[in-house]
Amino acid sequence: MKKSEFRGWTDVFRFTLVETWKNRSFLIFMIIMWVICFFSVPVLALITDSKKRTTEEYEVDKTNIETAYVVDDIMFTDIGFDVAVFQRKDVFKNVKIQKIRGKEYEEVAKQIDEEPNSIIIHLTIGMNGASFDIVRGLESKVGEKECDYIGSILVKEFDTFKYEVTGTGAEQLRAMNSQYEVVALMEQEDGEFVSEKAHISEAKYWFVYALLFIIMMIVTSSSSQVATAVAQDKSTKVMEYLLTSVRPMALVFGKVVAHMVSTVMQLGISLGLGLISNVLTAQFMGKNFLKTKLPGGIFENITIPNVVLALLTVALGVMLYGFIAGLCGAMVRKMEELQESLSMLVMLTIIGAYLAMFASMSMQKTLTSPLFYTAVLLPISSPFLLPGVMLVGVGAWWMKLLSIAILLVLDIVILTASARVYELLILYNGSTLKPKDLFKFLRQAKGGKTA
């Protein structure tokens, strides 16, 4: 493979990129996607806001609550926490508190149906731990904001109570309340300590999974665009003219990079709009949707080297699938044959993506399974999995670098092998070729024979 084989790829790249973005159907699809990204954040914020009770303080200046029945299933009152603390706020100071003992919650619940100015404060243990349930009757005159206000006061006062009782701060208390596990670490050659039985949290798994899905979209979108573009050049006979100025390699390379950039731009702008929308939502609606929805600590491993290597992996993966797509496109004579020709590419993508998906699931249990190593090192699956692995900060460095090296070598091998095959295929107008014929062409190209 000579440098001259790539001469003119930048012109192909520019033209392909500009014409892709000028395409009307592409633009309509993009605009729809951008509108969805921009407006989904405030809409989701509104929807989730109306469904979920907030713990923020809703200060109210008057209340209809006359009586509050306290049902304490957890016996918090026995350890010294007094639910009546909410009466420290002036607005609630005249509320009559009645502690219920030895009476079932359901009986009290029936009772407040006939008392529109009464509420129940139910201290209970549920699936997600302890909770303060503030219950109103069907005909209640008590507003939701009053209940929220009481709830937020109770949460705040209970936190203060915990610090006083245990003599700790918020961070220490959070650490004490966390689930603990024992991890055995082993020192690596580079001085890093790696756990053999380490695994990732559910939050990180979803992050890897989401990233895998985004990369799969980039790969499938850009590779199908490359195949379509090459097939279009052939079916419209423009190829014949283009080849007087550029080599087939430059043509395919320019198209692969253009469609990769185009797809990344699509997603980048969509994500950017989502972030801008989140900032505006936070400013005008007082709610940072992403901050409240994304689990904490998810971005702590997103460092510059990790991001650079992750992007490199994605780029190499897109190129790998792009070159294969270029070969699929070069195999057809007319556009109608493209679908059949793409079957090999689709199969490879599905195998690669599913392998990565199963490996990411296994990462919740262990990072040393053969499936994990296979998916990280195999070039058809590594572009989907490795970026996520890097950005959540797991896996040994040697493995990540080896995976990138394998991907790079395979890219070069496929590029070199396909350089001559493109020349043979791109002007081929014989009978319809099947994927197995591609290997025949590759063998002939390797042997220096013509088809």
The binding site for another protein (CB under 8 A) comprises: 4, 7-8, 11-12, 14-15, 18-19, 22-23, 232, 236-247, 420, 423, 427, 450-451
SS3 169: coil
Closest distance of CB 28 from another protein, Å: 15
Closest distance of CB 372 from another protein, Å: 44
CB contact at 8 A, 149 and 60? yes
Which residue lies nearer to another protein by CB, 179 or 450? 450
CB contact at 8 A, 247 and 205? no
Instruction: Give all strands (DSSP E) within 114-234, no chain letters.
Output: 118-126, 129-136, 185-187, 193-195
Closest distance of CB 351 from another protein, Å: 34
3-state secondary structure 49-103: HHHCCCCCCCCCCCCCCCEEEEEECCCHHHHCCCHHHHHHCHHHCCCEEEEECCC
For strands 96-100 and 67-72, give the pairing.
parallel
Residues contacting 106, CB < 8 A, separation 6+:
none
Closest distance of CB 232 from another protein, Å: 7
Which residue lies nearer to another protein by CB, 13 or 149? 13
Give the DSSP H/E element, type plus range, for residue 148: helix 144-166
Which residue lies nearer to another protein by CB, 256 or 410? 256
Closest distance of CB 263 from another protein, Å: 20
Instruction: State the first-to-last Cα distance of the chain, in angstroms, to the nearest integer.
Output: 20
Which residue lies nearer to another protein by CB, 23 or 343? 23
Going 153 to 155 to 160 to 165, the CA torsion angle's sign is positive
Closest distance of CB 289 from another protein, Å: 40
Q: Which of 263, 285, 240 is nearest to 48 (CA)?
A: 285
CB contact at 8 A, 389 and 395? yes
**Hey, what's the torsion of the CAs at 317, 318, 324, 330, to 10 degrees?**
-170
Which residue lies nearer to another protein by CB, 188 or 245? 245
Which residue lies nearer to another protein by CB, 97 or 242? 242
Which residue lies nearer to another protein by CB, 121 or 250? 250
Which residue lies nearer to another protein by CB, 193 or 439? 439
Closest distance of CB 250 from another protein, Å: 9
* Calpha distance 270→34 (Å, rounded): 5
Closest distance of CB 422 from another protein, Å: 11
Q: Which of 335, 344, 315 is nearest to 256 (CA)?
A: 315
For strands 193-195 and 185-187, give the pairing.
antiparallel
Which residue lies nearer to another protein by CB, 242 or 312? 242
Closest distance of CB 236 from another protein, Å: 5
